[in-house]
Amino acid sequence: MTDLKVEALKCEYRINPLGIDIKKPRISWKIQSDQRGTMQKAYQIQVVVDSDDFSDLLWDTGIIMSDESIQIEYGGLELKPRTRYFYRVKVWDNFERESLWSDTAWWETGLLHSTEWKAEWITPDTEEIDSLSELAFLLRKEFKLKTGFISARIYGTGVGLYELYLNGERVSDELLAPGWTSYHKRLQYQTYDVTKQLEIGGNAIGIMLADGWYKGNITWDHKRNFYGDKRAAFFQIHVKYDDGTEDIIVTDTTWKASTGPVLFSEIYQGETYDARLEKIGWSKSNFDDQDWSKTIVQEMPITHLVAQENWATRVTEVIKPIDSFVTPSGDTVMDMGQNMVGRIRFKVSAPEGTRIVLKHAEVLDKEGNIYFGNLRKADQKIEYIAKGERTEDFAPHFTFQGFRYVKVEGYPGQENGLALENFVGEVIHSDMEPTGEFECSNPLVNQLQQNIVWGQRGNFLDVPTDCPQRDERLGWTGDAQVFIETALFNYHGGPFFTKWLRDLKAEQHPDGNVPNVIPAVVDGGNSAAWGDAATIIPWAVYQTYGDKRLLADQYDSMKAWVEYIRRQGEDEYLWKVGFNFGDWLALDAPEGSPSGSTPTDFIATAFYAYSTRIICDAAEVLGNYDDVQEYSALLDKIIEQFNNEFVSPLGRLVSPTQTAHVIALMFDLVDGKVKERTAFELNELVIQNNYHLTTGFVGTPYLCFALSKGGYHETAVRLLMQDDYPSWLYSVKKGATTIWEHWDGIKQDGSFWSDEMNSFNHYAYGAIGNWMYKVLAGLDMNEAFPAYKKIRIEPKFAGIHLTHATASYESMYGRILSSWRLTEEEIEIEVDIPANTSAEIILPNAHLKDVSENGKSLESTAGIYSFNETIDSVILSVGSGKYRFKYLNERGLRQIFTGETRLLDLLQHEEMVKILIKYAPGITKFPGVLELRTKSLKELADLQKANLSIDKVNTLLEELNKNDWNLVSAK
């Protein structure tokens, strides 16, 4: 038995995907090995059709000498529709080992071609059921099956939203199908395996249809019928028999139609459900549907149907309420303990006709009353009318709410206290695979990380929405691009952004202009940092997953956006005309403006350069070398003109804002002495603002990166650790469980920023997570080798602010870990590198003589290929494996004892106090530090126990400074 294993086989990012329309699907796998430094030397893939017996091969790669183990494209015969293909993988490694064959995995094709569709679009006869009715439609058909069926699939879709039933049961746990795409250009269909739900003899299929995004209220203008004014269904069932025959049941005019208990259901408004109108058994055979209406054919195109691309939307977690109370206004309110997105499910025993109303909101006002003001026109109301039969169980069908608090009206017995055991919150979002984790020694930062994750969960509901509660919930391009790298760390975003980017490409105007929201349901486009989603997001997905196919698919769209910018105005190297959002919601904005003080043409030209740089890099990857030359020359000209226009002859930026300095640094628009000056002045701007930020949507994602890369990491850390307004931790201290839209969504006096635009679940400022993972924890990649093929581990410690930080990420190759911990006298760094990758590890503040790995010297450690010492670190080149480094934190101690550090800051951290006390006596090996007298040590120890006055503290500081400690005054 070999200890080299092939595991976690995936096809198009998924385990055993059902119903894909990709004609050359890509295969990926992970390798498990007990040997450090394991690299794949060769692989073999075998594919068979319809059976997992590999005796009759459809495709066999043979032994391919390659270390590639992700995104391997199928290269066999043309795939057939509605067919299952089984595959397995074997690998050989650099230790001359051969693995066993992996467990068998499979993919199954969908219809592949529009000619495979036999169904018709149907809707209730408009002469019998009003097509504009708010009531959800019910559609049904009975059919019979003979003995010997071996498999059955349903393929289909609907407009707006549908739920599918078979023989009285839901077909799937998927919600809000078919999702939200640019319906007039692309509509997803779904595939369901219903073999086990069918019966010999009589069967029945039922479809429930509601308005959803297709024809319901959408945007703050409450536009209706945006894509069409009639709901319709389009389904077909394929049943295969053991004799090779097949039955096909399709939507056509033989179906019957009615309405049911869903009286009203809207994305923003909520749902009204009258249980008295339920039609028991309506999706079972032998149901009496004689009084049901006819159906008619609805003319709709089928050429733009695509197989499901995104992760399905599901209930991903169930949480229980933590409390209920009566507000000062007399409302009974339930607290879920978490600002969540989804729905409430409840049980009730009540007389017939009892009306229960749930109204959802995110926060309480300063008086303790539930606050609905920021919802604008979105009611977020669920109304249930009981049928009065035993215990009834209910959750809404075609809507979702963003909320923490729920006002409950009409629930039996609530005047004596709400029966919380009868309520649960069902968290709903695209069922993405979690991939990243972060944790550190500061509980407020850990809560911030949880807020970032919950914000993503709430807003990644089929599209990357800006907010999940008010009458908006739109796919704003700017929000998505600023958060993209954080998003791809937290969750696997391959399918999610593949689907959304294809909508972006479909919605892009012929001139290259990109709408501000995707799908494009509001007017407007062309803004810098918003339209740049067209370049930034495909490039981020490529870097994270090595997805060259998506990059190629989007490449024309990427170029079209840059060429659109190029045509703006008289100077093709500056973007100075048209509308731009600017640094949205920046705190340095002039009175009454949401756009910040950084000039919009400064921001627009900077992003023009950034997108052009991405085009150059993408062209290099795709082998478009003529474009590499053209856009490299264009980039040089843009940077030249940027400096002519926005940088003084002596190197000062024309805009004295934090954001201007940040993007000039991050987009490599300044160099040499100008770059040094820009970094210095950015640091000064932050210090002058008492270590607080002023940035908005544009500057915030890059702020701490610019500081850390510019040599001012301590300032970046202090920014993160601020907990008063404005800061990331201010909202945490205010009790936030998601990221806010405004730095002061709730002001310091408890009042609100505004009713008009004040979401408490708005993920954009959560982009700080990317810096926390890559810089604080130090988990990053070598960008020349996408998908973490070559990993870079370089933690940057947080001085006195943190004693440990850990980040882990489940990459395409396997789990990566970067973790550091500061003990009383050592630094411990743990690193996990998955097989078939390698890493460069930078150990900060280390000397080679002090570093050991699992108690051994580096020279005698397997998996370490090279190591060398620099002025401030040790750099190692390593292969795969788990590594545990320890070394004396001498440079860190010198920084503590001789650096300009406030003693009061040190004493807030128990570990630092221990270090001070332990190392204070006799540390003469550190220049400038002399032995302290016993009295000083005693006062130092006492200081952690007493709340001393500033004068007393400064007396101690003066005593320590006599010994050249160089500690800064506590004032």
Active site residues: 472, 741
H-helix or E-strand containing 627?
A: helix 625-646
Q: What Cα–Cα distance (Å) separates residue 432 from each residue in 12, 188, 456?
A: 14, 18, 11
Q: In 3D, which of 769, 587, 762 has the Cα closest to residue 685?
A: 587
Cβ(665)–Cβ(682) below 8 Å: yes
How many beta carbons lie within 10 A of that of residue 520, not counting itself? 22
Measured in degrees and rounded to the nearest 5, phi and psi for residue 446 equal -65, -40
Q: Rounded CA gap, 377 and 222, in Å?
A: 9
Q: Rounded CA gap, 599 and 328, in Å?
A: 46
Cβ(85)–Cβ(18) below 8 Å: no
Q: In 3D, which of 308, 294, 326 has the Cα closest to residue 141?
A: 294
Where would I find the H helices in 460-517?
Answer: 477-490, 494-507
Positive or negative CA dihedral for 282, 283, 284, 286? Answer: positive
Q: What Cα–Cα distance (Å) separates residue 276 from each residue in 269, 352, 878?
A: 22, 8, 67
SS3 296: strand
CA 591 to chain centre: 33
Q: Tokens 């057939």 belong to which residue?
A: 80
Half-sphere exposure at residue 367, Cβ-oriented, CA atoms within 13 angstroms: 9
* Residue 293: both structure tokens together: 């209406």
Residues with Cβ within 8 Å of 203's Cβ and at least 6 positions away in sequence, in order, are 142, 143, 144, 145, 166, 167, 285
Q: Rounded CA gap, 197 and 88, in Å?
A: 29
| Residue type at position 550 | L
SS (H, E, C) 892-918: HHHHHHHCCCCHHHHHCCHHHHHHHHH
Cβ(766)–Cβ(772) below 8 Å: no
CA 500 to chain centre: 13
Cβ(319)–Cβ(424) below 8 Å: yes
Residues with Cβ within 8 Å of 342's Cβ and at least 6 positions away in sequence, in order, are 315, 400, 401, 425, 426, 427, 428, 429
Cβ(551)–Cβ(622) below 8 Å: yes
Q: Which residues pair with 119 in a beta bridge?
A: none
Q: Rounded CA gap, 335 and 325, in Å?
A: 8
Positive or negative CA dihedral for 210, 214, 217, 220? Answer: positive
Q: Rounded CA gap, 529 and 697, in Å?
A: 9
Half-sphere exposure at residue 689, Cβ-oriented, CA atoms within 13 angstroms: 23
SS3 446: helix
Cβ(324)–Cβ(334) below 8 Å: yes
**DSSP character for 368?**
S
